[in-house]
Structures are given as C-alpha cells and as structure tokens.
Amino acid sequence: MATTKLFSLAVCTNQAPPSSVTLASVMGGSHSGAYAWPNRTLVPLVARHEDRVRFENLLPAVAQPSATTLARRTNLPPETKEDEPAKEDDPDAHFASTCDGLVLAPKDVRMTAVADSALDTLNYLYSKGWSLPTCMAANAASFGNLHVLRWLHKRGVTMDRAVAESAAHAGHINVLKWMLNKRLARPTASLCAVAAGADRINVVRWLRSVGCPWDTRVTDAAGFHGKLDTLQRLIVDMRCPYSAARLMWKCAGAGRHDVAAWLHDEGHAIPASALYNAMIHNKVETAKWVRAKAPPIPWNYATANEVIVRGHLQMVRWMFAEGCPYVGQMAIYAGACGHTDILAFFLCELKQTLGAEVALAACSNGRAGVFQWLADHRCPLDSNECLNAAMLFAAEDVARSNETVTTVIRCMRYRKRVRPPQQQQEESERQHIAPSATCAPPAKRPALASQQDRPTTTAHPPPAAVPLVPVKAEQS
C-alpha cells in the first residue's frame, strides 16, 4: 500500500499524546508497528513519489529518536549526490532523509488534521485546550470532509459564509446540502458566483435547482476567473443575466481579451472604459486589441495620470507611440511617486527637460532617491524650496523626511563645491551688477539714481616706470 504523505514531528505540547494518536491514525489508515513519540505531535509532509516504498518499509523498524536529531529534523538540507549516506545505526536519520521539506509549525497541526480527517488528533488537541477557529471549518469544507464539519459544529464552531463558499469553490455539493438543511448558510447569488468562478457548472445547476438566485455577479466571476467555455454555457445555455459593458470592462482589466472578443463577435460594442481599465492594469496586449477593434476612443487625462502614478513603463511607452498628448505632462507625477525609470524615459528618450517642479514634488513626498537621481543628471533644482518641502513632509513620515533632508543638504554642499566653469562665470558677473534704484528703499532711491546717472570713468593703471640707464661720458 503506497502512502501519499510522509510524516515528521513538531513540538506542540508538554504532555505525551494517547496511544491512539499514532502515525497510522493521523494518516487515516492502520499500520502494524505504528508508534507515538512523546512530547510531540505527528505532522504530515509531502513526499516524493520514489520515497513512498522506502517509507512503508521503514515504519515497522523506526526506533526511539535520539536527542541530537531534532534540529536536523527541523530544517532538513536538500538531498544531493555529495551528501553522506545515513548511518545504519541511526534509523531516525534515515527517517529524516525520507522527508522532503520542513516540519510544519505547531499552529498548522490543526489544519493538517482537518485535511486528513484525523478525528483522534482533533479530539486530543481539543482536550488539551486548543481553540477551534472558523478557518478550520472552511478548510474542512474545501476538502469535503463532512464528518469533520459535523464534529466542529457539535463543538460550537461558527459556520459562516466563508465555509459555504469554500465548499462551492471546491465543488462539494454534499457539504452545501448539509449546510442548507441545517440552515447554517443561505442560498445567495454569491455562492453561484464563487462556483462559476471556479468552473463548477454542476454546482451552479444544483444551486439553481434548490432556488438559489443569481445576477450579473455570476457571469462577472466566470469571465474574470473562469474559462470562456464556462461563460458561454452560462449565457447561452442557462440564460444567466449579464451586462456586456460591465463584463468587457472587468475582463479588460484582467487581460481577458478573449472574452471581450467573443462578446464583440456577438454584436456588443466595446466601451471606452474597457480601454481605460486595461491601461490602468498594464495590460498592453488587451489595450492594443481594444484600440484596434473599437472606434477611436479619446485619451483620458485621469487615466494617463493613473498609469504614471502606478509606474507602468511599458504602458507609458505604448501611449506615447500611439500619440497620447498627456504623456509628456506627467513628469511631475512620476517624480512624486518615485518612478525614476519613467523619468529616465522622459529625459533620455523623449529629450524632455525636467523642471525644478519635479524635484520639488519629489521632496514634498519624501522621495530622496528621486532627488538624488535628478541631482546626478544635472536637472534644475531649487535647493531651498526642496529643503523646506522635505522638512514639511515630517508631519507624515519622519524617517523618510530625515532621509530626504539629508540628501538635499548633501547635494547642496556638493553643488557648491563642484560647479561647472560657465556657472561660476555667471555667478561672478551677477555679483558685479549694480542694484536697481527701483528695488532700493524709498529714502535711498534718489541718491542711488543720481549715482547711476553719472558717467562711469575707467581708471587706467599708472604707466610702468622706465628704468634709468646711466650714460657714459664721452672721452675727449
């Protein structure tokens, strides 16, 4: 008999489990020579196919584990050809070598017991004071373990809508029938929608036969999550209500242009919202298809802004290639959201000058990396305004504000220390310009105006002194 799972240990309690809680009981079968190790609970692990026979042969021969193998069993190394073979006198090491994965944490023991229908393990854990959350019931419903659900229901576990939806998603009609008979769930359209999204047509038919209502959410779930064949059977064969415009809009955002193509072939017009939703969710191929099939759809400023804010560079490239007029106006939003790749596209490929407002927007939102990138690429910056904006951002995030302030100050010092020669010449000329009389205080304007009206005389330097050469007297 080949088992489907291997089992190891996880520490969960300080008391030994009863003799009935054995490896065989957790596995759901009976094995001769099954054992119960003290102070630990057996936990299933997924095994490889080639290890199943070895594990079955190992069961009767497993000895008491040594104290040195717990750490080795907690984190098992990958098996390679260079690994040393297990010693023959250490059967626990041989057992650990058959396990493929990590030991589950103690909090996962309950979910494992629910998945394997191990009522003995659940009774033992419940007697030791372990809680029974609602997620255990949802897990049991997803596996179709009806007797575990009954056990949980007798012990007061809440059966909410998530339990019924888990059963509908997995296609377990017997669990749904039991919950509806016990009035633990109501037949709602959400159950049909969950079943349709998982391609469970038989569950949808059964829910309709017991009087479960449905609406456009059923077809929306089938088109968004399910297959095209499921949607066609719901609309054509079962006459499920649907909205073509809403369905195209949702499917375009999911990249399902096959559903939009089928609806378009059935005679439904493609709405403009389908293109906008595909652009926002970065579905380039779907946006291309909608742009080609639909009549000319005008570009939307809000949609282009949302694409920039989300950082979809591929969609930005496609929008610019298609002639969207708003792409070049979005650099400030890219700087505010920290998308340096889009700024590089604007600067390098579009040859667009990034103004000082981009750096100001970056500092206002605590984007120190964007400010550093702009400073490295010699973009125009207003350091004082950026510093004030970065300090004001401390009201929202102190850590990011401090990082941005530090970056701005470091860039200010660097730009003062290392300046191009042309900028140094312009600053020196700007310092020698006389102040305007209109900018002076009213009391000093007449004197400054009369001083500026005087003709400027250029002071010539004194001529260099001519050295005197001694003249020799002529000899008579």
> 3-state SS string over the chain?
CCCCEEEEEECCCCCCCCCCCCHHHHHCCCCCCCCCCCCCEEEEEECCHHHHHHHHHHHHHCCCCCHHHHHHHHCCCCCCCCCCCCCCCCHHHHHHHHCCCCCCCHHHHHHHHHHCCCHHHHHHHHHCCCCCCHHHHHHHHHHCCHHHHHHHHHCCCCCCHHHHHHHHHHCCHHHHHHHHHCCCCCCCHHHHHHHHHCCCHHHHHHHHHCCCCCCHHHHHHHHHHCCHHHHHHHHHHCCCCCCHHHHHHHHHHCCCHHHHHHHHHCCCCCCHHHHHHHHHCCCHHHHHHHHHHCCCCCCCHHHHHHHHHHCCHHHHHHHHHCCCCCHHHCHHHHHHHCCHHHHHHHHHHCCCCCCHHHHHHHHHCCCHHHHHHHHHCCCCCCHHHHHHHHHHHHHCCHHHHHHHHHHHHHHHHHHHHCCCHHHHHHHHHHHCCCCCHHHCCHHHHHHHHHHHHCCCCCCCCCCCCCCCCCCCCCCC
CA 180 – CA 332 distance, rounded (Å): 56
Question: Is the model's pTM score more than 0.75?
Answer: no
Which residue from 146, 147, 134, 187 is spatially nearest to 170, judged by alpha carbons?
Answer: 146
Distance, CA of 30 to CA of 174 (rounded, Å)? 27
| 244-329 CATH pick, 1.25.40, 1.10.3470, 1.10.405, 2.40.50 | 1.25.40
The pLDDT assigned to 380 comes to: 85
* Phi, psi (deg, nearest 5) at residue 445: -65, -45
Residue 429 has a pLDDT of 60
Q: Taking the mean position of all CA atoms in its chain, how far away is CA 368?
A: 22
pLDDT in tens, the chain (476 residues): 333 333 333 333 333 333 333 333 333 333 333 333 333 333 333 444 444 444 344 444 333 333 333 333 333 334 333 334 444 444 444 444 443 333 444 446 788 888 888 888 888 888 888 888 888 888 899 899 899 999 999 998 888 888 999 999 999 999 999 999 999 988 889 999 999 999 999 999 999 999 999 999 999 999 888 889 999 999 999 999 999 999 999 889 888 888 988 999 988 988 999 999 999 999 999 999 998 888 788 888 888 889 999 999 999 999 988 888 887 778 889 988 999 999 999 888 888 888 888 988 889 888 988 988 988 888 888 888 888 888 888 888 888 888 888 888 888 776 654 455 565 566 556 545 555 555 556 666 677 667 655 555 444 555 554 444 454 545 53
pLDDT score, position 284: 92
Token representation of residue 396: 């929202």
